[in-house]
Amino acid sequence: MNGYSRLGNGKPNGGSPTSPIVKGGRGGKGRWFGSMVKPEKLAERLVYIVMSAFFRRKGILLFAPVMYIAGMLMYMGTLNLEAVQEGVGGAILRRAPVGSVYRSPKVFENLWPSMQLDGGNSSLAMMTAWHPKEGQKWKPCVTQTISQAELPISNGYLIVEANGGLNQQRISICDAVAVAGLLNATLVIPMFHLNSVWRDSSKFGEIFDEDYFIDSLKNQVRVVRELPEDIFQRFDKNLSRISNLRVKAWSSKTHYMQKVLPKLLEFGAVRIAPFSSRLAHTVPANVQKLRCFANYDALRFSEPIRMLAENMIDRMVRNSSFSGGKYISVHLRFEKDMVAFSCCTYDGGKEEKREMDDAREWSWRGKFRRPHRMVKPGTVRKDGKCPLTPLEVGMILRGMGFDNTTSVYVASGKIYKEEKYMAPLRQLFPRLETKYTLASMQELAPFEGHSSRMAALDYALCLHSEVFLTTQGGNFPHFMMGHRRYLYGHAKTIKPDKRKLVVTLDNPKIRWEKFKHEMQEMLHRSDAKGIELRSPDASVYTFPMPDCMCRHAEN
């Protein structure tokens, strides 16, 4: 019934036995604020009490505290007074606020016949998806503008510990290069913290090309594989004896020069662990350029990762013959822990709720049961913060004009209830590929159990796709958007407006033409944001212009 639920089946007459106002009779007065009263009925009874007091012209002050509490509850969203009530043969119909409920399967059921009839034109959609701005073109220029002067004598050794997954490690590495350049320090190849979530024991050289990294930076920052023996002996060959400076997140140049440099000069070596997001977004241009150079020029994946990724890209291109060798990549964040952390609800009912409660308890140990933390899935969905399901991704792309001949690469971890949720996306896009379909078990064997190495394969496939669709926030899409801007001068990225999307997907009776119009408008708005200059509080890894790129006028 279009998301409505039926409550009661009595007559609409206010005096009927089923009326919530008179339920319990005159003798039931003590039950009105009892523990068995539902929140939504509490409001109705409060209104009745207040109105009765007004008509009797006495007792108003007695109800002032109650009125205040009810008002606060309504404001905080505890009482569901947004529901629409209608009398239909005595029934009360209630509809949740627009966009607060997952209705996408019903929308798909309604639209699927029209999708099948609408052949679309994948090649045309692929070619016209992007509209570079006329009269200007941004090109990488950091290698031409970065200093090539001979390096002065080093002030000491900087040791950092990168934590998190692949792209959080990437932030730490590039920021460490920038800090080493700022302090005129020698950077020791960053160590990787064994993260309790990612559980990847890979070392720097197993993910990135260590030799290439050191050689590329030789004219900008000294980098060594390990602390020299004579320096190490000063600390009894024990890293824990080296002073670990607790640097706050987003620390400024001034902090490093005033607090870290003196310690570096005093001891000859300092540690900063953890070293995640420890450098401010806004730093001097020469320091910012070191970030750019480290990320886009000095960092490349290790040879085993590069070789397999190149083979997978070639296979993806060959499989994309219907669209001229071009394919779409999707970063799908619908893993069990992501769904659990979002607190969003889908269509799995009691079983889903039990699984998500267990997952939250296992990973976050009571964080979501604290008294002050109110979990409101409907509000999260309305705010556009729920991870998109594979079905929603498929409907978005079909609405944007990509037909069922389009090749799609899905980058993801282990999808929650994969068999159930991936089926409709494969139905919409039969030419769908993942790591596990493009590479054999033998090829993937060295990378299994190492989440950062597997993520590196996804990164390479997404980087070289014609179109990239991001479905949720995080370091992966932020780095990907920036890297694609750096390579192409234009975003070539679809970032759906999820607040508007949930409104569109709330109407199971929406017509196909209307849905297509909404999706193509969304594509146009996303495309218009392709060329964006970095604002002072934004990351250079997402917005490389103008710090890492220069604008060239086109003839």
Same domain for 288 and 311: no
How would residue 134 be classed by pLDDT, with cut points 50, 70 and 90?
low
How is residue 296 annotated by DSSP? I
Q: Is residue 148 part of a domain?
A: no
Mean pLDDT of 399-405: 93
* Strand (E) or helix (H) holding 536: none
d(CA 247, CA 5): 54
Residues 423 and 368 in one domain: yes
Residues 502 and 367 in one domain: yes
pLDDT of residue 511: 97
The residue written with tokens 């699984």 in the block is 355
Residue 478: phi and psi, rounded to 5, are -65, -45
**Could you tell me if 161 and 286 lie in one domain?**
yes
Beta strands in 163-249 (DSSP E): 186-188, 191-192, 223-224
pLDDT digits (tens, 9 = 90+) for 4-18: 333 333 444 444 333
Residues 312 and 291 in one domain: no
Among 297, 318, 345, where does a domain finish? 297
Domain count of the fold of the chain:
2
User: At residue 58, does pLDDT exceed 70?
Assistant: no
pLDDT digits (tens, 9 = 90+) for 237-248: 999 999 999 999
Strand partners for 117: none
Domain boundary (252, 281, 297) is at 297
Is residue 360 included in any domain, yes or no? yes
Integer Cα distance of 429 and 447 in angstroms: 27
User: Which is nearest to 178 in space by CA: 90, 260, 66?
Assistant: 260
Look at residues 258, 282, 297 and tell me which one is the last residue of a structural domain: 297
pLDDT at residue 21 is higher than 60: no
Q: Are 547 and 488 in contact (CB under 8 A)?
A: no
Determine the average pLDDT of the residues in 454-479. Answer: 95
Contact 71, 42 (CB under 8 A): no
Residue 64: how many other CB atoms lie within 10 Å: 10
* Claim to verify: residue 379 and residue 431 sit in the same structural domain: yes
pLDDT above 70: residue 85: no
How far apart CA 301 and CA 299 sit, in angstroms, is 7
Domain with 500, as residue range(s), is 103-131+303-472+491-530
| pTM of the complete model beyond 0.85 | no
For helices 475-488 and 166-183, angle between their N-to-C axes, nearest 10 degrees:
70
Band (pLDDT 50/70/90 cuts) for residue 552 is confident
State how far Cα 528 lies from the chain centre.
Answer: 21
pLDDT at residue 405 in the model: 92
**Cβ neighbours around 414 below 10 Å, total:** 9
Residue at token pair 């990973």: 363
pLDDT band, very low/low/confident/very high, at 197 (cuts 50, 70, 90): low
Rounded Cα–Cα distance for residues 484 and 468 (Å): 9
Confidence of residue 369 (pLDDT cuts 50, 70, 90): confident
